[in-house]
Amino acid sequence: MYCRLTISSSDKIVLPFQYNHIIQALLYKFINDEEYSNFLHNNGYTHNKRSFKLFSFSNIITKPLKIDRETKKFVFPEEISIYISCVDAEFLKYIFQSFAVSEKELRIHNNLAHISNVFFRQDVQNYKEEMEVRTLSPITTYSTLFSADGKKKTYYYTPYEEQFSENIRKNLIKKYCAFYDKEPEDTSFSIKPLGKIAERIIIYKGFVIKAYSGDFKISGSEELKKMAFASGIGSKNSQGFGFILPKDEEVL
| Catalytic entry in 19, 28, 36, 176 | 28
Residue 17's identity, in one-letter code, is F
C-alpha to C-alpha distance for 6 and 43, rounded to whole angstroms: 28
SS (H, E, C) the chain: CEEEEEEECCCCEEEECCCHHHHHHHHHHCCCCHHHHHHHHHHCEEECCEEECCEEECCCCCCCCEEECCCCEEEECCEEEEEEEECCHHHHHHHHHHHHCCCCCEEECCEEEEEEEEEEECCCCCCCCEEEEEECCCECCEEEEECCCCCEEEEECCCCCHHHHHHHHHHHHHHHHHHHCCCCCCCCEEEEEEEEEEEEEEEECCEEEEEEEEEEEEEECHHHHHHHHHHCCCCCHHHCCCCEEECCCCCC
| Catalytic entry in 41, 109, 127, 204 | 41
Question: Phi and psi (nearest 5°) for 73?
Answer: -135, 150
Q: Is 28 a catalytic residue?
A: yes
Which residues does the annotation mark as catalytic?
Answer: 28, 41
